[in-house]
Amino acid sequence: MTDYSNKTYGRNAEVAVIFAMLKAGKDVSQHGPRRLGKSFVLDRMVEQAGAHGFICLKVEIAGCTEPKMVFRRLCEEITNHRSVGKSAISSIRQRLAQVASPRGEQAGPWYQSLLGVDWETYLERLLGALQDDPTQQWAILIDELPIFLKSLHDKGGDGIKQARDFMNLFTRLRASKPRVRWLITGSIGITPLAQAGQYMGVLAKFQNFELEPLAEDQAVDYLRDLAQSGLIQRRTEITEQEAQAIIKTVGWRAAYYLEALAQHLPARPETEPEKVQANIDAALAEMLKHNNKSTFGTWEEHLIKHHSDQQRRLSFAVLKEIAASETGLILDNLLGALGDPRINREDLRQHLLLLISDGFLYQEPMHEDSAPYRFRLTPLRHWWALYRPQSAV
């Protein structure tokens, strides 16, 4: 396993800032597009927690479809955590046994009997045990909270109520166990959900931490290390010049996409500008040769899963137009290209903001109508233009 603690791209400064926020009594929210590196930051927090006097539990809940599954995931995380000793688990269990039905030995893990109708009580007890731990402070890192809430909302009226109840329970537990710290992340907007479910108040109490893409020198180090560690096909070296060119071509300094392009580099490392460019062009062509759904499909999927029918139609139409232009489109040209009199200029501007916050587009400088909207990821623009994903509705 890589030791990221001495890597420039290891997000160590970000991790330190977040721990300082937690130590100052703040709970933190971290939002940003898929594959920006949010979960990576949480993993580093789990690793480094001890040095900051914390123990962190990372609870990935994108796959949970009902509230008590979150509680189960939390229990699993406690059990599997490297730094949670047997004695800590047994003292937590003891605490829970005060309310657990006094049954004898039973099959399954220790938390099995806690997942019945009364699971909320056990969750509260569990947090009480963490709260009262004299040796360390606990922080719970909830990864992809909005995706979980969305899956509840998608079940309809009852599900929305479940989401609201869950968030209210969350607020209550945060208030009654104030020494337990929380961090939530999200790849999709949580605000529309909170509005629909009327739990906006819950979110107001989190302090936002804005995770930025990697800095340029960090991205160069990352790419060169990848090759040196034998993680790039056909290569044990990526030159400084190639790394720079990859960064420029990808356009968004997220490790995932930098690596994805680097994997297609021709075998011979180059340093001369033209040859470097030829290598990068070849890598890009290779990357786009097949409909690389695993790399790019998540973007299409995002629109299908997380936009309403109406939003989705407009998103596909907008992205089709912008993908066709290398330098992007300004608002009025886009409006003209769409050629649909039902689309209002102001609504379009608002919609573009959504596509920016989803990570598809950027505009530089922002909010200036003379500045074009472009794809943030150049390879995604090419992919979109080539494979033309479409709205099914």
Ligand X SMILES: Nc1ncnc2c1ncn2[C@@H]1O[C@H](COP(=O)(O)OP(=O)(O)O)[C@@H](O)[C@H]1O
What is the per-residue burial (b if ≥16 Cβ within 10 Å, else e) of 21-36?
bbeeebbbbbbbbbbb
For Mg ion, the closer of residues 44 and 351 by Cβ is 44
CB closer to Mg ion out of 143 and 321: 143
Q: How far apart are CA 4 and CA 262, in angstroms?
A: 20
Instruction: Note whether 36 binds ligand X by CB under 6 A.
Output: yes
By CB under 5 A, how many residues form the interface with Mg ion?
Answer: 1
Q: Which is nearer to Mg ion, 39 or 162 (CB)?
A: 39
Strands across the sheet containing 206-208: 54-60, 137-143, 181-186, 27-31, 206-208
256 makes contact, choosing from ligand X, Mg ion, none, with CB < 5 to 8 Å by partner type, with: ligand X
In the complex, the smallest distance separating the C-beta of residue 157 from ligand X, rounded to whole angstroms, is: 30
Q: Does 29 bind Mg ion (CB under 5 A)?
A: no
Which among 34-42, 286-294, 323-331, 377-385 is the span making contact with ligand X, rule CB under 6 A?
Answer: 34-42
From 386, 360, 389, select the one nearest 374 (Cα to Cα). 360
What CA–CA distance (Å, rounded) separates 112 from 374?
50
Residue 11 partner contact from Mg ion, ligand X, none using kind-dependent CB cut-offs of 5 to 8 Å: ligand X
373 counts as binding ligand X under rule CB under 6 A: no
Write the CB contacts of 215 (distance below 8 Å, at least 6 apart in sequence). 253
302 contact choice in Mg ion, ligand X, none (CB below 5 to 8 Å, kind-dependent):
none
Residue of the chain from 14, 15, 22, 35 that contacts ligand X (CB under 6 A): 35
Q: Is 39 in the site for Mg ion (CB under 5 A)?
A: yes
Residues 273-312, interacting with ligand X (CB under 6 A): none
* 360 near ligand X, judged by CB under 6 A: no
Q: What region does 138 belong to: left with phi over 0, alpha with psi -120 to 50, or beta?
A: beta
Q: How near is the Cβ of 377 to ligand X at its closest, in Å?
A: 13
User: Cis ω on the peptide bond leading into residue 365 (within 30° of 0)?
Assistant: yes
Q: Considering beta carbons, is residue 176 or 229 the nearer one to ligand X?
A: 229
Q: Is 344 helix (H, G, I), strand (E, B) or coil?
A: coil
- Exactly one of 34, 235, 351, 374 binds ligand X (CB under 6 A); that residue is 34
Give 320's Cβ-side CA count (13 Å radius).
15
Q: What is the Cα–Cα distance from 111 to 360, expressed in whole angstroms?
A: 41
- 155 burial via Cβ count (<10 Å: 0-12, 13-18, 19+): middle
Q: Which stretch binds Mg ion (CB under 5 A): 32-40, 119-127, 157-165, 275-283?
A: 32-40
* By CB under 6 A, residue 376 contacts ligand X: no
Q: Could you tell me if 283 and 266 are in contact, meaning their C-beta atoms sit under 8 angstroms apart?
A: yes
For 163-203, strand residue ranges (E) read 181-186
Using the rule CB under 6 A, is 11 a contact of ligand X?
A: yes
Q: Is 40 in the site for ligand X (CB under 6 A)?
A: yes
Pick 119 or 252: Cβ nearer Mg ion: 252
Nearer to ligand X, 215 or 386 (CB): 215
CB of 260 closer than 8 Å to CB of 293: no
Could you say whether residue 256 binds ligand X (CB under 6 A)? yes
Picking from 321, 325, 328, the residue whose alpha carbon sits closest to that of residue 362 is 328
Applying CB under 6 A, what is the total number of residues that bind ligand X? 14
The identity of residue 384, as a single letter, is W
221 counts as binding ligand X under rule CB under 6 A:
no
Applying CB under 6 A, which of residues 188, 232, 255, 314 lies at the interface with ligand X?
255
Task: Give the footprint of ligand X on this chain (CB under 6 A).
Answer: 9, 11, 34-40, 187, 214, 222, 255-256
Task: Give the footprint of Mg ion on this chain (CB under 5 A).
Answer: 39
